Each structure stands twice: as structure tokens, then as C-alpha cells.
Amino acid sequence: MRDADEHTITRAVVDRFADTPDPRLKEIVTSLVRHLHDFVRDVDLTFEEWQAGIAYLTRTGQTCDAHRQEFILLSDVLGVSMLVDAVNHRMPEGTTETTVLGPFYVAAAPERENGADIAGPLEGTPLLVTGSVAAADGRPLAGATVDVWHADEDGAYDVQQLDALGGLAGRARFRTDARGRFHFWTIAPAWYPIPDDGPVGDLLKATGRHPNRPAHMHFMIAAQGFETLITHVFSADSPWLDSDAVFGVKTSLIADFAKHPPGTAPDGRAMERPYRHLTYDFGLKAAKPGRSRSVRDRDPT
């Protein structure tokens, strides 16, 4: 086609993809072209704005490294991560709602025994976490793997301060017992700002948005025959629950990180100082035959 103009170029580009062998790839690429072209026409994008957009995406890529994925962060603050999560996880009754993976998951988390303290060198208010894993019908799931990770009392993750900590902390992998239960000790996480010293932070500042996330703990739970659950549990007394920078909060995922005075904790541990206790029961969705949602073999950081 010759002489393409603002009205005809979209059809011309779509036609160039007509012979794409993979039908799903063809669907995605052609839809992307249509929506992208409609966006340009809708806002009457100037050449200078187009150049600025290219420069912004280039800088976003250049900000990524072994411990930081700025494109995931950009997807998060634009709500795309949660939208993809929502269309892929329509959860039946009896199952736990999902939320974003986030950029700080580590596939090689150490496996620990139930009751272990995973705080390591992290300092803060002790937190006992007790929970269970079951199928949607309430049947306990023994041997399920429970990956956990969280920020420290200053809102930083271990992978952001590996040199200072000397290794991973505040994360581990557990297995549920015969009754589908697990428990461990750590410290209470704090709310924190997402990394805002790069292109994503510039976008938030330019649009008058804050970078903050409410206090939460990450869980990834997997069991044979079930979809892998990726979710958070948010502290009910945290700020920012109604304006999470990445749109991840759901009411069903808010829980009480209950405060307790010194004394004997529910697991029998003698506590000489105040501590907190989170208890949460998780429900897994049965997997469809031939389809897996596990991300255990990849590390987005």
C-alpha cells in the first residue's frame, strides 16, 4: 500500500500481519496496533511527545538490573499488572483472592521447618504467622509449599540490602503439615514507598501521585492439582489501604496483625516483649487439566 495517511495506515499495518502463523500472536499484535494507533489519533500526539515517550521507555529499560525490574514497576503503577491478574484469576467461592507478584520474589528462597524464625538480622516487632491451606471445599492440603517474603520495619526488602544483611532475610519456603497448617516467626513489615528514584517515580511525581504501599506480607502457595496462588495479606492498621500505588488491596486480603503484650505466644514460645500475631487461612483453586500457573521456575528480579 502507498500513500498511507492517518485514516488508512492502521488497516495497512494490520494487513501486514495477516500471515502470522500463530493465531494468538496475530490476535495480540493486530489488537495492539489498532489500540496504539487509536491512542495516537485520540490525543493528537506530537512528534516531540512521541520522542519523549520513546526516551522514557528507553530509560525504563536502562534502569532494570539483576535486582530491579522497572518495567514490572511501570506495569504495576499503571494498573496493568492487577488487570492481567484479574482477567486470569476469576476465583470461585472458598478460594483466596490473588494480587500482584511484585518485583522482589526470589525463586531460591531457603526452605525452613514450621516454627522457624526467618527474620535473621532484621530488627523489629516480633510477628507470629499462623495459617492453613485448603481446597475450595475446605479439605486441608498437606505438603503444600508456602513461599513468604516481606519488607522490614523500614520498608526495605532483603534483595535491596544484600550487602548489609549478608544474605536473604525475611523470606522462606515452608510446607504444610498433615492438617494443612504452617507457622513461623519473623518481624512485622512496615508500609513503604515503591522505588521512586527512576522513571516510574518521575511519572508519579509528574501526575501528583504518591508511591506508597500499605504494610503487607507476600504469599505464594502451590499444591499438586491446584493453581499456584500469588497474593498478599495486608495489615488492617496500615495507612494507604485505600490508595495503594499498585492497586493491589482487596478487602478479603486485609487482616488484623493483632498486638499482644509479653507472655506465652499461641505456639508456646515465651515472649519477653510485645509481639504481633497474624493468622490467615488460604483456599486454592483447582487447576484446569494441562494448564499451569506456577512461576516457581522464574525469578522476575
Q: What is the pLDDT of residue 296?
A: 42
Q: What is the pLDDT of residue 43?
A: 98
Angle between helices 199-206 and 70-77 (to 10 degrees): 20
Q: 70-284 adopts what CATH topology?
A: Protocatechuate 3,4-Dioxygenase, subunit A (2.60.130)
The average pLDDT across 193-204 equals: 96
The average pLDDT across 4-24 equals: 96
Q: What is the pLDDT of residue 292?
A: 46
Q: Is the pLDDT of residue 299 over 50?
A: no
For the ranges 157-161, 184-188, 290-294, the maximum mean pLDDT occurs at 184-188
Q: Is the pLDDT of residue 298 over 70?
A: no
Q: Is the pLDDT of residue 297 over 90?
A: no
Q: What is the pLDDT of residue 69?
A: 87
Nearest to 66, CA basis, from 181, 194, 160: 160
Q: Is the pLDDT of residue 178 over 70?
A: yes
The model scores a pTM over 0.95? no
Q: What is the pLDDT of residue 290?
A: 62
Q: What is the pLDDT of residue 68?
A: 83
What percent of the chain clears pLDDT 70, i.e. is strictly above it?
Answer: 96
Q: Is the pLDDT of residue 86 over 50?
A: yes
CA 51 from chain centre, in angstroms, equals 31
> For 224-268, what is the HEC assignment?
CCECCEEEEEEECCCCCCCCCCCCCCCHHHEECCEEECCEECCCC
